[in-house]
A and B are shown apart, each in its own frame.
Chain A
Amino acid sequence: MSELFSLAGDNLLSPIILSFALGLFAALARSDLSIPEAVAKGLSIYLLFAIGFKGGASVADYGFDARLGFSLLAGVILSALLPLIAFALLRLMTGLSRLDAAAVAAHYGSISIVTFVAATSVLEGRGISSEGYMVAVAAAMEAPAILSALWLVTRGSGGDGRGMDSKLMREIMLNGSIVLLVGAFVIGWATGEDGLAEISSFIVAPFKGVLCLFLLDMGLVAGRGLRGGSGILRPGVLAFGVLMPLIGSGFGLAVGAMLGLSLGGVALLMVLSASASYIAVPAAMRVALPEANPSIYLTLSLGVTFPFNLTLGIPLYIAIAQTVIGG
């Protein structure tokens, strides 16, 4: 327990979390602080490229094994399964309609890549290594949850035309974040440690500083979302935003342990299973389920679950993984 408090304390006082807190405070206090849209986009491109490249270089160094394939498969299954649990929980705990519950559930099966990046940064800071291919697992977990949510809706409505057309499927599978993450992973894998050494002064040394600025922006966005959407956060909905990550992380822990992943790998799978999407899935929901209320799913995933995972969730998942896996 003391290890958990120590980890949580270190995490809360890290520049990354304090930057996020600054953004959150500024938005809630109605400050005019803002990160220009193009700068925020540039920061996210940098982070996705850096994390993908480093993951690929790590795999090149370590090599492929059967566990990689099983981990990808497990990621897909987790992403497809978690929305079903989230949906049942939402129907039980909240008064959300079937449509809104399915839309929210999709977010909780998919992942937040920023939470993943923050978790890798915390692990690196504590000297805990992880499988480089977890980046690929993160990419594999983006889309299946969307299919599960659409299935939940069409099953309930008897199939009224809502669903996935080929254009939407292409937009999801080839969205910029996935292409960049997987592309950088492949470049990192192809060029290996030599390639990483060539550009490490760009993608390794400044990484945490860039992450701080990006999380400052995320804090601003989360704060604005909370300010605007606080009216829809009834106690049941709010409780779901904290409970579901804990349930998801439990599944991540069980699957990671079954796969025989390292301590860092298990912790990252827990983080992925606990996190909720706020980029890819909301866009897909606006196209496929436009009647679902975006204020509910965006406020929950960005205003409740993201800050929870960032501040308390990540140290908690690492501590639990350390207790179960050892190390």
Chain B
Amino acid sequence: MQTHRAKRVEITIEAVMQSRLTEALQKAGVKGYTILPVYGGSGRSGEWNRSGQISRAHGMVQVICIIREERLDAMLEAAFAVVERHIGVVSVVDCNVLRAERF
């Protein structure tokens, strides 16, 4: 089956910044994204667990989007402007998609 190269961008960020991030991604031309809840983790800010929080405001989410390679730089610039000062991780991996016109 024919597949097409694309980039999968995973952004783990504080839940309070979620809407700001997705707005920036849409402005940068991202056609779609998926948001997942994050259960817990550990990093520079210490250990963290969803069950220890009293509201969603203190939680983390992961925003995943798949885009064409030529759109990556513009998308990362938009994302970085939002996440720069905040706790979070941005990673990019290569992937293949079946329907290139959707990304």
**Interface of A toward B, CB cutoff 8 Å:** 34, 37, 40, 167, 218, 221, 224-225, 228, 278-280, 282-283, 286-287, 290-291, 294-295, 298, 302
Contacts and interface: CB of A to CB of B under 8 A. Distances in A.
B54 A286 contact: no
A279 B46 contact: no
B85 interface: yes
B86 A295 contact: no
- Contact-residue size bin, chain B (C-beta under 8 Å from the other chain): 10 to 19
Nearest to A281: B57
A199 to B, nearest CB: 26
B16 interface: yes
Interface of B: 14, 16-17, 20, 45-47, 49-55, 57-58, 85-87
A77 B54 CA distance: 28
Contact of B52 (A228, A278, A280): A228
B68 to A, nearest CB: 29
Contacts of A280: 57
B57 A279 contact: yes
B5 to A, nearest CB: 35
Contacts of A224: 49, 51-52
B54 A279 contact: yes
A290 B85 contact: yes
B16 to A, nearest CB: 5
Nearest to A227: B52
Contacts of A294: 45, 58
Contact of B57 (A167, A283, A302): A283
B46 A221 contact: no
Contact of A282 (B51, B58, B85, B87): B58
B52 to A, nearest CB: 4
A98 B17 CA distance: 24
Nearest to B85: A290
A278 B52 CA distance: 13
B54 A290 contact: no
B57 A286 contact: yes
B57 A282 contact: yes
Nearest to B51: A34
A94 B46 CA distance: 22
B13 to A, nearest CB: 10
Given A283-B57, A286-B14, A225 B20 contact: no
